[in-house]
Amino acid sequence: METSQRHRGEASRTVQDRLPERLPPHPPLARYYADEQERQRQVSRWFDESAARYDFITQAMSFGSGNRYRQQALLQAGLAEGMSLLDIACGTGVLAAHAQSIVGVRGFVVGLDPSPGMLREARGRGVLKLVRGVAESLPLESERFDLLSMGYALRHVSDLRATFGEYRRVLRPGGKVLILEISRPRYRFMFRLLKLYLGCMVPWFARLGRRGRGARELMKYYWDTIEYCVAPEVILAALQEAGFSGVERHVTMGFLSLYTGVR
Ligand SMILES: C[S@@+](CC[C@H](N)C(=O)[O-])C[C@H]1O[C@@H](n2cnc3c(N)ncnc32)[C@H](O)[C@@H]1O
């Protein structure tokens, strides 16, 4: 990972003082849904319908580098043989499958996702333990995992507070949270470039082929959730508030964020 910066959670104390009670990752996007219930239904439908094409779109979108980046992130977070990992929003199981090969037979990996279509793809990839559920209310025992990962899905939860509270609950004391996200670039030129790419070119490309319309809408929505997502400082503050320590954001290329914290 070349150009990278670290931002420590301590800098966000004043943000933490101002956090509202319910903390959605972005304001309602009225272009796509009328209320929270419809948002959840719509997002589930899009992911479900696009599950079979998801890997093709995301690998093309990242010029083939996405899988290696995920694997590196797991190793950098300290995942090793014999450990236990919970991959929230596992999607087609890319991250969970990498994790399985790292932890080996002495460890275990659980992939969780609300979409039956995504879970089917993850099973096909060889992910052994899969659970249907959402990040905000995990159907899992407390203090069970050494590492909890979430790739590119924080923008789809309904409440960061409830989500991070659950992450803390299921992690063992000393366990680590690792969140991969795409963030709105700080610099205008970079923002415009990424908007052109993710907001226009990727949706155009995604529309090609079977079920292309749903995939196009999903990728447009994908960009909008990046553009309107709360600032990284808010995410860091919410992690701290949930009880994580050593909270940090590691940025690559100005828009790839890795959030980490220790329970
Ligand atoms: C962009 S995909 C990311 C998949 C995978 N983590 C990756 O790195 O490629 C987002 C995933 O989040 C899931 N998702 C949507 N809402 C969720 C929620 N509230 N809790 C957990 N997962 C959710 C979707 O079903 C979808 O599989």
- Which of 49, 88, 150, 156 is the best mutation target for the ligand 1 pocket, counting ligand atoms within 8 Å of the beta carbon and taking the most? 156
**Confidence band of 217 (pLDDT split at 50, 70, 90):** confident
- CATH code, 16: 3.40.50.150
Q: What is the mean pLDDT of residues 191-220?
A: 79
Domain count, the chain: 1
Say yes or no: CB of residue 156 within 6 Å of ligand 1: yes
**Burial degree of 180 (CB within 10 A; 0-12, 13-18, 19+):** buried
The answer to whether residue 169 sits within a structural domain is yes
pLDDT for position 2: 38
Average pLDDT score, the chain: 89
What is the tens place of the pLDDT at every residue in 38-56?
999 999 988 898 888 777 7
- CB 154 near ligand 1, within 6 Å: no
Measured from the CB, is residue 160 less than 6 Å from ligand 1?
Answer: no
Give residue 243's pLDDT.
97
- Does any ligand 1 atom lie closer than 6 A to the CB of residue 238? no
Is residue 219 in a domain? no
Q: Please name the residues in contact with 254: beta carbons below 8 A apart, sequence gap of 6 or more.
A: 3, 185, 186, 187, 190
Task: Tell whether ligand 1 has an atom less than 6 A from the beta carbon of residue 182.
Answer: no
Q: pLDDT tens digits for 143-201?
A: 999 999 999 999 999 999 999 999 999 999 999 999 999 999 988 898 899 888 888 78
Judge whether 87 lies within some domain.
yes
Tell me if 193 is assigned to some domain.
Answer: no
Residue whose Cα lies nearest atom 22 of ligand 1: it is: 89
* Average pLDDT for 235-253: 96
Atom of ligand 1 nearest to the CA of 91: 27
Whether residue 223 has its Cβ less than 6 Å from ligand 1 = no
Whether the pLDDT of residue 17 is over 80: the answer is no
Single pTM value for the model: 0.90
- The answer to whether the CB of 155 is under 6 A from ligand 1 is no
Inside any domain, residue 221: no
Evaluate whether residue 223 is within a structural domain: no
CA distances from residue 33 to 10, 199, 200, 229 in whole angstroms, order as listed: 36, 18, 20, 16
Asked if residue 44 belongs to a domain, the reply is yes
* 155 within domain boundaries: yes
Range of the domain at 41: 4-186+230-262
- Ligand 1 atom showing the smallest separation from residue 58 Cα: 9
